[in-house]
Amino acid sequence: MLVLTAFEAFYAIELSKPSLSWTLSAKGSELCQTLGYHRLASVKNDKQDEFQYKQFLFWSIYFIDKSLSLRLGRPSTIPDWDITVPRPSTNDSHSEPVLAYFVLSIETARCQGNIYEMLYSPTSMTQSDQVKQSRVEALVSDLRNLEAKTWETNMKWFEEAKEQSGEDLINFFYISENVLRLSLQTLVHRAAPPLPGSATTFNYSCIAAARATLEKHEECIALMHKSATSYLAIYMHCADVHRTLLFAPFIPFIVIFCHVIETQDEADLARLQAFVTSIQSASSISGPAAKLHRLFQVLCRIAMGYVKFRFSATPLEGWQDSSKIDTYLDALGFSSASAWIPGRQHHLIPQHDSSNKEAETNDARTSADATNDELRVMNPMMWMANSAELEEWLENNEVMTGSI
C-alpha cells in the first residue's frame, strides 16, 4: 500500500498535478507515521535490509511532502522535530551513486520545507523585520552549505556515475540542481525586509540571484542542445531527481518580470525573452509544459509592451495604453509592484466618485485588500502556486494575449 502510494505521488508530479500528488503523499505520510518509520525506537531492531527499505520509503515521502509544502504553500505533514531516525547524510557510505544523489534531494527538500515554514507561512510573514532578516540569513547559509555538499558529492561520485549513466546526463543533473538551488535562493532573498529608501521592490541580492538562475538555466539548455539525448522532458517534469520547472515555483522569472516593470531594464527584458525562447520546444512535451510556456510568453509580451510604452509615449498620448496596461498588471496582481516605479503618475489609474457610504465600505475593506496584495505581489511564490487561476484568466482575455 505504502509503496504504491509513493509511486502514485511521484507519477502525479510527472503529470504536473501537484495537488493530487499532495493528497497521495499526505496518505503516505500518514502510513509512515502510523507504522513508525519516522521513529528510531520502532525500527532500530530491524534487520539491515528491512531498515534500509523502510527508510527509503519514508524519506521518499518526506521528499515529496517538503517540496510540495513550498510549491503549494501548505504546512508539511512531517514536522522535522517529530523525526527521530537519523536523516541521511552526504557523509554516509553508499554503494551506488544514485543513493548519494538521493541524499542531496532530501537535503534540498528539507530546505524547501524550511523556506515555507520560516518565511512564507502566514505566521512567519507577520514577524518583525529583524526576525525575518535573521531567518533569511540562516536559510541563505543553509543553501550555501547545500551547494558545497552538491559539489563534494559530484566530485566523489562523478566518475562512477558517468560510467553508469553517461557524462552528459550527470552534468545535466548537476547543472539543473544548481538551477533549482539558485531559484530557492531567489525566493529566500525575496522575503528579506525592504531597505529604507529603496526605489525598487526587490533587493539587490534577490535580483542578482534571479539573474544567476536564468543564466544557469541557459547553461542547462545549452548542454541539452549539445547532447545527443534530449533532457528537456526530464528538466520540465521529472520530480524523482528534483530537476524541474513545473514542480517548483520558478520565481526568478517573476522577479525579473516585476523588476522590468519597475525599472524598464532592457538587459533584464532580454533575459525574459531568452528564457521564453529557450523553453519554446517544451510546448510539444505536454499540456502543462505548453501552458507554462504560454504563461511566461504572455508575461514577457506584457513587459515588452510596457517598456516600449514607457520609452515612447508621452503621458497625454499614452493615457489609453497606460490604463490598459495598468489594468492588466492589476489583474495579474502586480499593481503594488508597479506603484513603486519612480515618478509614476498615480492619477493614471481611473478614479471614481463615491458616496460616504461607499467610502466607509471601502475603508473597511482596506486591511483585507492590503493583505491580499501582500500575498500576491510581495509574496510571488503564493501567486505562482495559483498559476492555474492566472492561466484561466489569460484564456478569457484575448485582447491581452494578442494585442500587446
Where are the chain's structural domains?
1-87, 91-245, 280-350+362-404
The number of residues in the chain equals 404
Q: For the residues 139-166, what does the mean pLDDT come to? A: 88
pLDDT confidence of residue 144: 96
Calculate the alpha carbon distances from 44 to 40, 79, 292 in Å: 6, 20, 45
Q: What is the mean pLDDT of residues 304-314?
A: 74
What's the CA gap between 119 and 190, in Å, rounded? 10
Closest CA to 119 of 106, 136, 142: 136
Scanning 36-128, the segments in alpha helix (DSSP H) are 40-43, 48-72, 97-115
- With bands split at pLDDT 50, 70 and 90, how would you rate the model's confidence at 314? low
| Chain centroid offset of residue 39 CA | 31
**258-281: average pLDDT:** 90
Least confident range from 79-88, 181-190, 236-245, 338-347: namely 338-347
pLDDT band at 96 (very low <50, low <70, confident <90, very high): confident
The kind and range of the H/E element at 12 are helix 2-14
Least confident of 44-53, 181-190, 204-213, 310-319: 310-319
- With contact defined as beta carbons under 8 Å apart, do 239 and 10 qualify? yes
- Asked whether the predicted pLDDT for residue 25 surpasses 50, the reply is yes
- Assess whether pLDDT exceeds 60 at residue 336: no
**244, amino acid identity:** T
In this predicted model, what pLDDT tens digit does every residue of 321-333 receive, in sequence order? Answer: 555 566 666 655 5
Question: How confident is the model over 5-20, as pLDDT tens digits?
Answer: 998 988 887 777 888 9
pLDDT at position 231: 60
Count CA atoms closer than 13 A to 112's CA, side-chain side: 29
Task: Quote the mean pLDDT of the chain.
Answer: 76
- For the chain, what percent of residues have pLDDT higher than 90? 34
Q: Is the pLDDT of residue 192 over 70?
A: yes
261 vs 78, which has greater pLDDT?
Answer: 78
82: which 3 cell numbers? Answer: 517529530
Tell me the mean pLDDT in the region 277-295: 76
pLDDT at residue 381 greater than cutoff 50? no
Predicted TM-score (pTM) of the model is 0.80
**Residue showing cell 503564493:** 382
Contact 58, 85 (CB under 8 A): yes
Task: Report the percent of the chain where pLDDT is more than 70.
Answer: 70
- pLDDT reported for residue 185: 94
Which residues, in sequence order, are CB contacts of 107 under 8 Å at separation 6+?
Answer: 90, 146, 149
| pLDDT at 371 exceeding the cut of 50 | no
pLDDT of amino acid 321? 54
Task: Please state which of the ranges 18-27, 81-90, 233-242, 346-355 shows the lowest mean pLDDT.
Answer: 346-355
